[in-house]
């Protein structure tokens, strides 16, 4: 099987609370499809991850990004930091039902 991405020799911290471990990680499309001590499959991109950590995304539990997540659904500033989930509506404010001015006809 040919994967899109193959990360070799990564330090994996999987979020389970267990210890870190060294592994290869294969990704096809937007899914992790294999994690193993050694993966010998073909891949479109092979990354030597020696000395780097692979981990699940991080959750930013206290943000004031309410309108930012509406304006920028991809929210690259957060994604580039490894944050895959933001919690909004903190401190008694929320953008729920808000209309962004640029969206008003």
Q: ∠7-10-14 over CA atoms, to 5°?
A: 105
pLDDT tens figures, 36-58: 999 999 999 999 999 999 998 88
Please give the domain boundaries of the chain with CATH numbers for all domains: 2-54 (2.30.40.10), 58-98 (no CATH)
More confident residue, 13 or 98: 13
Predicted TM-score of the model (pTM): 0.68
pLDDT tens-digit profile of 4-27?
Answer: 999 999 999 998 999 999 999 999
Phi, psi angles (nearest 5°) of residue 68: -65, -40
Higher pLDDT, 31 or 67: 31
Q: How many CB atoms lie within 10 A of CB 43?
A: 19
Q: Using one digit for the tens of pLDDT, what is the confidence trace for 61-94?
A: 988 888 887 788 888 889 888 898 888 888 887 7
Copy the structure tokens of residue 96: 């729920």
Using alpha carbons, select from 83, 55, 53, 57 the residue that is nearest to residue 68: 83
């Amino acid at each position: 099987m040919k994967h899109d991405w193959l990360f070799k020799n990564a330090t994996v911290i999987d979020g389970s609370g267990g210890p870190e471990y060294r592994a290869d990680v294969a990704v096809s499309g937007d899914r992790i499809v294999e994690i193993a001590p050694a993966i010998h499959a073909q891949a479109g991109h092979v990354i030597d991850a020696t000395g780097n950590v692979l981990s699940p995304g991080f959750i930013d539990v206290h943000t004031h990004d309410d309108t930012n997540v509406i304006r920028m659904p991809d929210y690259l500033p957060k994604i580039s930091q490894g944050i895959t989930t933001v919690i909004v509506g903190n401190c008694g404010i929320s953008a729920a039902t808000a209309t962004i001015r640029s969206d008003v006809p």
